[in-house]
Amino acid sequence: MVRTRIIKIGNSRGIRIPKALLEHAGLSEEVELEAQQNQVVIRAVGKPRQGWEEAFRAMAEHGDDQLVDEDLTGRTSWDEEEWEW
């Protein structure tokens, strides 16, 4: 645990977080802040699609990466008879 002071930064307030604490928490340039019952929670911003590559690899290994529906790329009789192109 580290004790620090809230300081004035323009019209806002801030705190100085020691580098070692930031590194230990895995925090970098951008973070998310959330107020919870008498505390402020700071967490690293997750990257969109983080972990997708590993998930897709695992799906392929288990055969779960097949299309659910039949191949719909070809035209059907409805396309030929009913639809106006």
Q: What is the 3 state secondary structure string of 22-60? A: HHHHCCCCCEEEEEECCEEEEEECCCCCCCHHHHHHHHH
Q: What is the model's pTM?
A: 0.50
Digitized pLDDT (tens) for each residue of the chain, 85 residues in all: 889 999 999 999 999 999 999 999 989 889 999 999 999 999 988 778 888 999 999 999 998 887 777 666 677 777 778 877 6
pLDDT of residue 72: 65
pLDDT of residue 8: 95
Domains, the chain, in order of start with CATH, read 1-65 (2.10.260.10)
